Chain A
Amino acid sequence: MHRRLVVVAAVLAVILTIVSFTSIGSTPPAGAQGQFDWKRYAGKQIRFLVNSHDWTNEIIRPATAEFEQLTGIKVAWEIFPEDQFRQKLAVELVSGSGSVDGFMSLTSWDGLRFMKAGWYEPLQKYLDNASLTNPQFAFDDFFPNTRQIATLNNTLIGVPLYPEVQLLYYRKDLLQAKGIAVPQTMDELEAAAKKLTDKANNFYGYVTRGKRSAAVYTLAPYIFNFGGQWLDKDNQPQLTSPAAVKGLDLYGRMLREYGPPGAVNVHVYEVYDLVSQGRVALATESSLGVSTFEDPKKSKVVGQVGYARVPRGPAGSHTPIISWAISIAAQSKNKEAAWYFIQWATSKEMVARQAKLKIPLARKSVWDSATFQAALPKDWLSSFQGALADGYPNQANPLVVAVPETRDAIGAAIVAAIEGQDVKAAAEKAQKTVAEIIKKTQ
């Protein structure tokens, strides 16, 4: 009897020893077996290179101190505006020095290229590892379309941050004054823009982007709504399809006849400015515009902007859905620590802070929360959900490896269309250039 007891005790002791040896670094408090260990990588230093945005500036940067307290990991958080951010990131990633642990990535732009260059660290294995991922994280809380945006070639490479679709912005007061209904179709859009344009008084009916590469994003719905696509299933461009040519032609005409002078230099900043300063009546742009238009410090038309879905064409209303995501660099020497930062920054608590700043977010639970629902205009919320459901993930431009070159080539055709040149010839030129680019780089 005694001997059996001793054997059992010895076995138990051995088991306990083995268990305590295998839980490296974590000291589970008594009785809290399922508790996630935030301090596991304490003492590590990580560096993230990110894009300047309200999310990075207003939410995460001030909160890094909280993260450091929670985990003991020191974070260097370097923020640059998009262009400079891309340049610096490119130099650092090319040099392969492992100087950057994590970065933000616009998957529709960087996605395939970064994948091909081996710069992303696939994230699925971190999500699947219970010891590395906080059980509260709940990745399926993110909208399916947004998760799909951050998944390329069946590999998850980032966590989505603030999804965007395109919406139609319209001045409720002006449309009402002229008795115009909110445009539902592309034809109605053109008619409304025509009625609202008053060039003598420096007021224009419609604006959207005209700047070479940037305009490709806002051209997309024009092509999709007529039934076109960027690429066919063999990855060949479809820029000379009837739908694409029709869309391009209409786009150019809309800006030429009803848009402000200098439309070919208009980027997203100018679109937001023109709307918020009350110089245009209608615009199709990224859904992020809402935070500018409803900000009394920036906008003269607070409360007067209506939000609707982009008017439909014969093939319905489809806009691209894109989102910046936050990723881990494959070259990083502190991948787990970087993952800790990512899951903290995209946790339910942190995402909830986006609600207060009217920054669109990707978590369903937070979206449905009272704070978020109250913070944003009702028509924005419903239009966004509608566009999200019918939208095409990552289709801001043809999804190829050499996105910037491709966008520049298509952009040249857009500028030609706005300037009133031969649209078909411009489309053919773009088609030829893009096909060559794809051949050389894919």
Chain B
Amino acid sequence: MSAHVRSRALRAAAFWLLLLGSLGVLVFPFAWMVMGSFKTQAEFMAYPPRWWFRPTLDNYTNVFVRNDFLKFTVNSLIIALGSTGLSLVLGVPAAYGIARYRQTGLGMLLLTARMAPGIAFLIPWFILFSKLRMVDTYPAVMLAHMVVVLPLVIWVLVSFFEDVPRDLEEAGLIDGCTVLGVFRRIALPLARPGIVSTAILGIIASWNNFIFSLILAGNSTRTLPVAIFNFVSYDSLNWGGLTAASSIITLPVLAMAFLVQKHIVRGLTFGALKG
């Protein structure tokens, strides 16, 4: 009996060690950055590294007061939600179709877009969008971002839809549902963790995208990653500003991820077939 308890305790200890260890490694650089955002330039470059120091809020005031950070945040938000939303609307049904009807060809086509380096798109798009007078507009940047997000949405969801057991769907069809009904009532809920995950990934990908936003956005649609570079100038790197801005930028996405992560739960399949 005690051996059993001991092995349980050991396994629990192992679990916590691994968990905290991996989270620690993943989080440390970020924590280092946030810590740095409260340091002055001189303290940031100090060696040995300073763990205890007098924090300053100058960097944060600098970020908000001297730069249009609110505007950039709003821009990033609009573009991220827009491009991800559109990608989901187009992508979820497409993924279902590809999974069910084995339309790998279409899927491949969309995937190839993601394979080309972003550079390939820049000059042709710039020429196209400037002729259409769409440079520095939301739709143009959103479309560009969709090239990154849509293939991701489709392909992750294809694998999820494929993992949805066919029996459930067939049961639904036998019970009198239409194909669309099967999609809405059976496949969609089961693939919910996948949809949520891809939404998060899509938003993050769009939020962080740099090169498309750099070239296609102007002063009024500039997004956060491009704005980060406000702190890099000809001969100096404003570490305080850079780290403060970067910390601020991660907050909205972090909040979104937190709210949404509880949907990534164990599926709803148990019991459904047995009955």
Contact = CB atoms under 8 A, between A and B. Distances in A.
Interface stretch (B4-12, B13-21, B164-172, B234-242): B234-242
A272 B130 contact: no
A69 interface: no
A276 to B, nearest CB: 8
Contact of B215 (A88, A272, A298): A88
Interface in A252-286: 268-269, 272-273, 277, 286
Interface string B34-45: 000000111001
Contacts of B2: none
B123 interface: yes
A95 B123 contact: yes
Contacts of A300: 42
Interface string B225-266: 010011011111100000000000000000000000000000
B274 interface: no
Given A94-B123, A95-B130, A52 B219 contact: no
A167 to B, nearest CB: 14
Interface residues of A, number: 35
Contacts of A277: 42, 45-46
B234 to A, nearest CB: 4
B219 A76 contact: yes
A99 B234 CA distance: 24
Contacts of A268: 235
A97 B234 contact: no
A84 interface: yes
Contacts of B235: 53, 268-269, 272, 286, 288-289, 292
A440 interface: no
Contacts of B236: 269, 272, 292, 298
Interface string B48-71: 000000000000000000000000
B119 to A, nearest CB: 10
B33 interface: no
A81 B229 contact: yes
B270 to A, nearest CB: 52
A296 to B, nearest CB: 10
B130 A97 contact: yes
7 contacts: A53-B234, A78-B218, A99-B130, A269-B237, A273-B45, A277-B46, A299-B42
- Top 7 closest A-B pairs, CB basis? A97-B130, A52-B233, A81-B232, A53-B234, A95-B127, A81-B229, A95-B126
Interface of A: 51-54, 57, 76, 78-82, 84, 87-88, 91-92, 94-97, 99, 202, 268-269, 272-273, 277, 286, 288-289, 292, 297-300
Given A88-B215, A277-B45, 5 more contacts: A78-B218, A78-B219, A87-B215, A95-B123, A268-B235
